């Protein structure tokens, strides 16, 4: 079975996450990593491939060329190859433009399953799969916390605001997985060494037949008008545990009359 996994490079956690006041875009100059939530998607694809006994796991991404550094982690985990759509003309793409570009790249691969992570840690949108599924004309199941693939269909368990649902879909299908679906494996040393040699195609928009007007800011339908600071929460006390943290928490709880 051919499985495509959509993965994204994101700024690494913490202070690296900021918006550039000038471009009003995410600042991508700091440390970067593969979106942690996408590791669950890669892991699930590998498990399905292993269970089925044959097939191919292809990583599909849109981002700057240097994103390959992060994407290689998925190859080191065991994915077979990677396709990165990277083009100056794609910078600043919003959901409309990105989903169009990803769908074009996915159409070329024609996978039986397309797996997404739970959300990207820089956008927290948790919507990309629904847009891509509509463009591909495939059924979609999101927030998958249990999954079985059998023959021509998938059955999933997933949480909504009202409890758990069980949903099935015929293949080809799009899935978005919960970060609790599995425990992503650590790449082995051999995997890390081997990743560099696996096929890594970098495609321009032109290679996918995407007209300039459908990508980047021109292909986008949303805009950032202003970037500001949220109101601060006030005095936060933050300490490093030096062996006395429990005592300090107790003192805080006593001061606030909880203990």
Partner 1 sequence: MSTLVFLEHNEGTFTKGSLGVLSKAASLDPDTAAVVIGSGVSGLAADAGRYGAARVFIADDASLGAPLPQPRVDVIASLVQAHGFDNVLFGASVLASDIAGGLSARLDAGLNWDLGDLVVDGGALVGKRAALGDTVLVDVGWTSTPRIGLVRSGSFEATERPGAGAAESVSSDVRDFSTRASYLERLQEAQIGPAIEEADILVTGGRGLGAPEGFSKLEELAAALGGAVASTRAVVDSGWYPYATQIGQTGKSVSPKLYIGAGVSGAIQHKVGMQSSQVIVAINKDANAPIFDFCDFGVVGDLNEIIPALTALVKARNT
Ligand X SMILES: Nc1ncnc2c1ncn2[C@@H]1O[C@H](COP(=O)(O)O)[C@@H](O)[C@H]1O
User: What residues between 92 and 111 interact with partner 1 by CB under 8 A?
Assistant: 94-96, 99-100, 103
**Binding to ligand FAD, residues 169-188 (CB under 6 A):** 179
Residue 24 Cβ vs partner 1, minimum distance, rounded to whole Å: 8
Q: Which segment (54-62, 81-89, 105-113, 219-227) binds partner 1 by CB under 8 A?
A: 219-227
Q: How far apart are CA 172 and CA 115, in angstroms?
A: 11
Contact pattern for partner 1 over residues 133 through 172, marking x by CB under 8 A: xxx-xxxxxxx-x---------x-xxxxxxxxxxxxxx--
Dihedral sign, Cα of residue 54, residue 78, residue 197, residue 191: negative
* Residue 135 binds which entry of partner 1, ligand X, ligand FAD, none, CB below 5-8 Å type-dependent: partner 1
Q: How far apart are CA 119 and CA 138, in angstroms?
A: 20
Which of 128, 195, 208, 210 binds partner 1 (CB under 8 A)? It is 128
Contact pattern for partner 1 over residues 178 through 217, marking x by CB under 8 A: xxxx------------------------------------
The torsion angles phi and psi of 91, rounded to 5 degrees, stand at -65, 140
Q: Which residues bind ligand X (CB under 6 A)?
A: 6-8, 35, 37-38, 41, 61-63, 98, 102, 116-117, 119-120, 123-128
Burial class (CB within 10 angstroms; exposed 0-12, middle 13-18, buried 19+) of 211: exposed
Query: Which one, of 168, 157, 159, 179, lies nearest residue 44 by Cα?
Result: 179
Are residues 36 and 70 in contact, defined by beta-carbon separation less than 8 angstroms?
no
**Binding to ligand FAD, residues 77-136 (CB under 6 A):** 118-119, 126
Length of the chain, in residues: 259
Are residues 95 and 125 in contact, defined by beta-carbon separation less than 8 angstroms?
yes
Residue 150: helix, strand or coil by DSSP? strand
* Binding of partner 1 by 25 (CB under 8 A): no
Are residues 187 and 76 in contact, defined by beta-carbon separation less than 8 angstroms?
yes
Q: Which is nearer to ligand X, 26 or 167 (CB)?
A: 26
* Residue 81 binds which entry of ligand X, partner 1, ligand FAD, none, CB below 5-8 Å type-dependent: none
Residues engaged in binding ligand FAD (CB under 6 A)? 118-119, 126, 143, 179
């Amino acid at each position: 079975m051919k499985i495509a996994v959509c993965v994204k490079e994101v700024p690494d956690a913490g202070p690296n996450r900021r918006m550039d006041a000038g471009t009003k875009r995410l600042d991508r100059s700091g440390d970067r990593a593969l979106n942690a939530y996408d590791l669950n998607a890669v892991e699930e694809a590998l498990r399905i491939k292993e269970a089925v006994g044959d097939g191919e796991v292809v990583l599909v991404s849109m981002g700057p060329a240097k994103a390959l550094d992060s994407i290689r982690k998925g190859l080191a985990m065991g994915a077979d190859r990677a396709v990165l759509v990277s083009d100056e003309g794609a910078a600043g793409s919003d959901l409309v433009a990105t989903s169009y570009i990803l769908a074009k790249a996915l159409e070329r691969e024609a996978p039986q399953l397309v797996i997404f992570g739970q959300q990207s840690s820089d956008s927290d949108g948790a919507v990309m799969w629904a847009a891509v599924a509509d463009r591909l004309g495939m059924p979609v199941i999101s927030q998958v916390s249990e999954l079985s693939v059998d023959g021509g269909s998938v059955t999933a368990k997933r949480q909504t605001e009202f409890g758990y649902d069980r949903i099935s879909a015929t293949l080809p299908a799009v899935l978005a997985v919960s970060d609790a679906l599995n425990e992503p494996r650590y790449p082995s040393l051999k995997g890390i060494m081997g990743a560099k040699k696996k096929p890594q195609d970098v495609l321009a928009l032109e290679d996918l037949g995407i007209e300039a007007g459908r990508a980047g800011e021109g292909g986008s339908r949303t805009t950032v008008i202003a970037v500001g600071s949220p109101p601060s929460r006030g005095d936060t006390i933050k300490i490093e545990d030096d062996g006395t943290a429990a005592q300090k928490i107790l003192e805080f709880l006593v001061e606030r009359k909880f203990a």
